């Protein structure tokens, strides 16, 4: 295993990136599509909603997974996967039995518990820390506001509540640092349709800095991250990934970066803002809307996006029936699209956001025709607004291909899947 990882990191080096701290730099040329390196997860947790459909160890999607004989809440491909996961699952197994349906720590808490356990059992550097160790992660502790500090304290309380019998804890100050490190350096593992599968730590991947004009993308095979070039990378060039969804205009992207990662991006896209006009396209009317009307509608759009996110989260927590929840979410989408459509073109990114959400709701309730209608409206503007080789565009073509096939339109399905 060690020689394989060394080979995969050949041609790359850690260096001091001007104005960005640590970074990753190419020592040789990489062609478009070439794999720069793979990184196994330092540790990972499967999201609770995917239990029973994916293996808790390797994240493979399979039918007929075997349950953990004790807690009945963890599922595995086979005995090998169960043995592989046991050093981490044993942290949770007896607690799952004791708490039953009340066992509900967040993914962040679960991931942090596994980091603490792994640091104790594997104090030496692991195969996922070839260039950057977990203990070197930035915490940005000095930049945390009171709200973020309070959220971390809530996570620490949950860690003690759910894992008190199975972990040795450092003091509170060290836990604050660790949670801050996880918040800044954790990864969301997604499937081929960019659906959430779980959370993980990939130290060497975390070494890469952000750009809104990235030259690599990160994809996942189970709990393995793969870093692949989407532009030609010359020797001496820094390797950049994107930390955020690149659909949105410059101000939105930098608001997200400041809130989650505590910096502003200074890439070419953020300096020139050349794509913002197209991303915020206004209806072509004989009597164009005023600048104030446009500003108000942008503010409304941002608020409704946040409202939708909160509705998905809190109504699920309150255990409303899923059918009721889907109806409410679809209503939010349709009402917001009607209102925004008076000012925005359908290619405006805020319109696209709500159409994408509506498509997701339709997929959930198995309204294939409704999902297809929304997807057909989204795909062309997506291809324009996202950079080349975007995973968001690829996953949308995949969804459309599967929808066409489900609706027995094979020629359109084949064409979309070839995309």
Tens digits of residue pLDDT in 85-118: 999 999 899 889 989 889 999 999 999 999 999 9
For residue 309, is pLDDT > 90? no
Mean pLDDT of the chain: 92
The predicted model gives 11-26 an average pLDDT of 95
Q: Which residue has the higher pLDDT, 72 or 311?
A: 72
Structure tokens at 65: 């997974």
Residue 369 host element (H or E): helix 368-385
Q: 342 with 360: CB under 8 angstroms?
A: no
Strand order in the sheet with 216-221: 35-40, 224-229, 216-221
According to the model, what pLDDT value does residue 314 have?
55
CATH 3.50.50.60 fits 273-418, yes or no: no
According to the model, what pLDDT value does residue 121 have?
87
According to the model, what pLDDT value does residue 323 have?
64
Q: Fold for domain 42-190? A: Annexin V; domain 1 (1.10.220)
CATH 2.170.270.10 fits 1-40+202-256, yes or no: yes
Tens digits of residue pLDDT in 220-272: 999 999 999 999 999 999 999 999 999 999 999 999 999 999 999 999 999 99
For residue 364, is pLDDT > 90? no
Share of the chain above pLDDT 90, in %: 85
Domain segments of the chain as ranges:
1-40+202-256, 42-190, 273-418
For residue 4, is pLDDT > 90? no
Neighbours of 184 (CB within 10 A): 18
Measured distance CA(169)–CA(163) in Å, rounded: 10
The predicted model gives 304-316 an average pLDDT of 73
Burial (CB count <10 Å: 0-12, 13-18, 19+), residue 18: exposed
The predicted model gives 397-411 an average pLDDT of 97
Going by pLDDT thresholds of 50, 70 and 90, the confidence category of residue 167 is confident
Same fold, 42-190 and 273-418: no
Determine the 3-state secondary structure of 16 from DSSP: strand
According to the model, what pLDDT value does residue 374 have?
97
For residue 10, is pLDDT > 90? no
For residue 282, is pLDDT > 60? yes
């Amino acid at each position: 295993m060690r020689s394989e990882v060394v080979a995969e990191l050949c041609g790359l080096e850690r260096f001091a990136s001007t104005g960005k701290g640590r970074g990753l730099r190419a020592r040789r040329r990489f062609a478009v599509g070439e794999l720069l390196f793979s990184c196994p997860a330092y540790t990972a947790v499967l999201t609770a909603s995917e239990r029973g459909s994916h293996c808790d160890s390797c994240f493979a999607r399979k039918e007929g997974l075997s349950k953990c004989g004790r807690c009945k809440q963890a599922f595995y491909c086979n005995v090998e996967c169960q043995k592989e996961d046991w050093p981490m699952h044993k942290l949770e197994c007896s607690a799952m039995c004791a708490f039953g349906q009340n066992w509900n720590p967040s993914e962040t808490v679960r991931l942090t518990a596994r980091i603490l356990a792994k640091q104790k059992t594997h104090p030496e550097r692991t195969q996922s820390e070839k260039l950057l160790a977990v203990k070197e992660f930035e915490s940005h502790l000095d930049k945390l506001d009171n709200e973020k500090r309070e959220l971390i304290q809530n996570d620490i309380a949950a860690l003690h509540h759910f894992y008190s019998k199975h972990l040795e804890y450092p003091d509170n100050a060290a836990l604050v640092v660790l949670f801050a490190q996880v918040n800044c350096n954790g990864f969301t593992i997604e499937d081929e349709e960019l659906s959430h599968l779980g959370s993980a730590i990939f130290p060497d991947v975390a070494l890469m800095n952000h750009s809104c004009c990235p030259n690599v993308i990160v994809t996942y095979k189970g709990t393995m991250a793969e870093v692949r070039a989407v532009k030609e990378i010359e020797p001496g060039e820094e390797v950049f990934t994107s930390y955020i969804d690149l659909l949105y205009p410059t101000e939105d992207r930098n608001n997200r970066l400041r809130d989650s990662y505590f910096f502003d991006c200074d890439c070419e896209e953020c300096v020139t803002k050349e794509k913002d006009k197209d991303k915020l396209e206004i209806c072509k009317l004989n009597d164009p809307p005023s600048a104030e009307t446009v500003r108000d509608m942008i503010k409304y759009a941002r608020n409704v996006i946040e409202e939708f996110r909160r509705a998905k989260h809190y109504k699920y927590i309150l255990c409303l029936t899923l059918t009721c929840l889907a109806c409410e979410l679809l209503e939010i989408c349709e009402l917001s699209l009607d209102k925004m459509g008076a000012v925005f073109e359908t290619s405006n990114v805020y319109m696209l956001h709500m159409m994408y959400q509506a498509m997701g709701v339709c997929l959930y309730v198995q309204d294939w025709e409704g999902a297809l209608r929304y997807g057909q409206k989204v795909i062309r503007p997506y291809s324009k607004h996202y950079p080349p080789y975007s995973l968001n565009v690829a996953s949308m073509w995949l969804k459309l291909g599967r929808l066409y096939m489900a609706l027995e339109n094979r020629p359109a399905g084949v064409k979309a899947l070839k995309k």
